[in-house]
A and B are shown apart, each in its own frame.
Chain A
Amino acid sequence: MGGAANGGGCRHRTKPHMHKARMWRQRKSIETHGWVLMDDHLTRRECLKRSAGAVIASGVAVWGGIRLADDTTGSEIETVAPPPNFFGKIDFPTSNPRISVALGNEDQVGRLVRSAVSGLDPRAGIKRFISQGDVVLIKPNIGFDRPPYLGATTHPDIVRELVRLCFEAGARKVLVTDHPIESPQACFRRSLIHDAAEAEGATLLLPAPSHFATVAMRNRPPDRRRGEAIGHWPILHRPLAEANKVIGVAPIKDHNLCSASMNLKNWYGLLGGRRNQFHQVIHETISDLASMISPTLMIADATRVMMRSGPTGGRLSDVRPGGLLGRPAVIASVDSVACDAWCYERLLGRDPAKLTYLELAHAKIAAQVAGGWKRINEREWRTYDRLAQIAVQRL
């Protein structure tokens, strides 16, 4: 019966005299009961095993418990700092043009981009903005599932040419992304930006939940009376953290709620979460984004300007090449406020003095410039006109 197991315990471990005693007990057991009485004591091995087991389990429980003890619930959401000043990373001569307009024909979109960029710096061109080894984020407006000719999204040829320019200037990697309202795949495909960017070797980033992080723009609640909208809010942070240069590429469009969607409104596409609520405070939100994101370079796409029914449009009759200019145009700039004012007046024929978010953005950026930020901010574009800092090229 139990003899085998018992013997197994003592064959190797038990000293001879103990073995003898056990044999005697067994013999006595047979005499008394007629069968072998199992040893009622634990084998040493089993005893040690069990002692160690219980003690180790207790130790692990105490150690693990103390290690895991945490009085908080972890409900504090981790936040990240706002993105850095991407314009501050380049050395832009103060005497250079601040706005550069290139006018041409519909089949010259690529050349228009080159001309517009080189208009800002005739000698260095794109190399003024992009250096060897840079990681560049290109942020077009791909907000809607619309084909390019409707003017709701950035022209794919502009993205194509920009990616080329970046690689020519020695960029290591070019990221292209947006956070559209509709399915990113559908929007990226339909706008033809997917094909254009991939053909040139850029990395298309489809927004995924893990790409977002909550940015702490202010560490206090926003004050509506001071025109503030964002405190802590999730934004498409991953590409902004990876890139060291950022280029915004925005189509010029009519916008039902905020009058026009141009360079500044383009950054709205970086917002995550339930951003639709920001439509209640659209001017405050756009100007907050304008003061949070300082791009290296901005390209305004006026190849076809949506004059009405914005921001989605839907009819060819809503679109006009170059807006009031009448010819397809691409505008490169380093001053988003001035560029938006110029586009608003010259392309859409409206009065920039009445555009609330321009006023708010100007005030917020001015406060930062005064605080030592390296950034250009001129609300009245005519100042640049007087200083001959608006370059115009006709192809």
Chain B
Amino acid sequence: MRYRLVVLALAAVAAWVLPYGLSLYAIHVVDVAIVFAILAIGMGLVMGIAGQINLAQVAFFGVGAYMTAVLTTHVGMGFWTAAVLSVIGTAVVGLLVGTPALRMQSHYLGIVTLGLAVAFVSWATNSPLAGGASGISGIPAPTLFGLDLSSEYLFYYFELIVFACALAFGMFIVRMPLGRRMRAMRDDALAAGAVGAEVRSLRMAAFALASVYGGLAGVLYAGLIRYVAPETFSIANMFLLLAMVIIGGRHSLVGCVVGALGLSLLREALVDVSTYAQLAYGAVVALTVVFAPNGLAGLPGRVRSAWGRRRPDKAAVLGDFQPYEPASPDVVGGPDRDDWILDVRGVGKRFRGLIALQDVSFQVRAGEIRGIVGPNGSGKTTLFNVISGLYKPSSGQVIFAGKPATGRPPHQLAHAGMARTFQNLRLFHLMSVRENVLVGLDRSRIRSIWRYLLWPIGVFRDDREMHRAGDELLARFGLVDFAPAAPRSLPYGTQRRVEIARAMAGRPRLLLLDEPAAGLNGEEVRQLGEIVRSIRASGVTVIIIEHNMGLVMSMCERITVLASGSVIAEGTPAEVSRTPEVIEAYLGDAEVNDNFSAEDELPPATVLDATP
């Protein structure tokens, strides 16, 4: 921490004395580089942090610059009024350009935003309002508190302050709950929704942020150059900006800034051989994505891990699970109580021709541990996806805690008290174990986003509170030693436990576990049973899909058996294991195997009940 403060102070002093050693031309180059750095922060936020492939960032830059130009020259506004309106206007454009992100992602979003960027350049080149190909000149020089900012040296200091604020605000967002939810959404949008992140709103927030940074850069550019023309906002410059962010390291805002400053200055140094420079940075981009996907910002981490491998510190151990405080009996409920927490009524789900679920009905009492078993492909996970809001059922409805859950998005259900794990582990793999749990703890909503701008102290306090609760949770699940680790570096069984901890972080009333014992060894399965029983004892209802019959039979009060998308049996473990349909579903069709009668030759209990 102290080391960082020293570096920061040195950087500030260096930035402050820099102009004294620079010629008029050099300070101009630096001024332009800072504009690109601000633009790159916005790009890093939307692409590196929120995972939205936005190739219209240079158009946001253009909208900001052109709006300032039009408002000052055509409308005759003062520079600062125009500047504020331009940033607001760019944010509106950003939200519009971001709407496709609600429906598509990845390369689809890339091509749509790139197309819109092309459309913007085309508009600017043709519109009389924008001055056509020759652009708009004669933007008045801004003055601030009587200082004439037409001096590029003074403008440098003004820019420096804006840049420092922009970077600090960006880094604040990245480290606080909002940025954490955005990173979670980037790593796995489905899982982020399931732990309560409002994925759609977060995507829009990311575009809004990116466009505000773009607009800010545009305003500064207009004030600095006092002339705008279409070629500044061309696709070639969009790709240059992309190169800055990729080479610098898209997951780190400081990396983005380093990339932007470095490439801007290099471009200026190589201006005589610009085509070869273009060749070189294109090649570096192609090689970066393959060999150093985290860019320059990822290098220190690589060096450190190469260093660390040589002198291994003490091995991290998975601690014991500390059981929850059992809740009082009237909260816990149990199999003999009559209030349903989950009521599935005649749910059907079809994917085009395929019927995955057909008229599935069952009810789960509060405080129960319910097992759902069935052969592979019988629709168990589809059922979970319907209950947790990932799929909309084709027919029927789901009632959760007395309220209809059908058609509500996953994050709303998460806020209402539902949590789940996934069959194929969906941890946020670029975030640490601690951050994974913190995302689960995070109950803040997008509507309180204003606090980031107006009441950052409150955000900071909330975050500290979350960290405290997170550490408590990590200790309970015995994960303290793994808190800073990347999930993928952990043993499989530990990853499973992290996922359960993340689900429990939201203090759910209903926990859905999808094959939590898959891939666990005997001891880990025993620990899992202990964890699930303790979770139930604390008053949480648990529904568990599992193939490990020993675990299911020993732990669940009631079992629902699915086969080919329908419920074929329900009851206590003993009842279910005697049902002929269940035996048939597990052993095959009775008519085919008519040589032996299942009931005579193989007592069902020994088939299904593997408990010792």
User: Are the chains A and B members of one assembly?
Assistant: no
